[in-house]
Amino acid sequence: MPILLIVDLLAEREAFGKKGVEEIVKHFPNHEILLWAPHVENPLDYSFGTRIEEPNEYDVVVITGSRRNVSMWEPWMDRVAKLIKECEVPLYGICFGHQII
């Protein structure tokens, strides 16, 4: 089964984070879902997908929006930038995700 990695940058917000990720996941019905939230220590439990500490295997990546601003760099953004630089699979960014790409 192909693996969808969602870089979940709204994992601390029920309304935007969970609901937004649910909308993304609908378009990948035959994928295993991995959720990575490098900006928070205790992301919300969505009752779907698997939360991971660090991504290492995936077939497609979606980077969500964030409440943060790319022009105001924060340390956790280095981890996302590293993922982007090393990514060799299809990569899609929404709002903040597009900006950081």
* Region 33-52 average pLDDT: 89
Rg of the chain over CA atoms, in angstroms?
Answer: 12
- Does this model's pTM top 0.85? My answer is yes
Beta bridge partners of 61: 5, 91
Per-residue pLDDT tens digits for 2-16:
999 999 998 777 666
Domain limits of the chain? Answer: 3-100
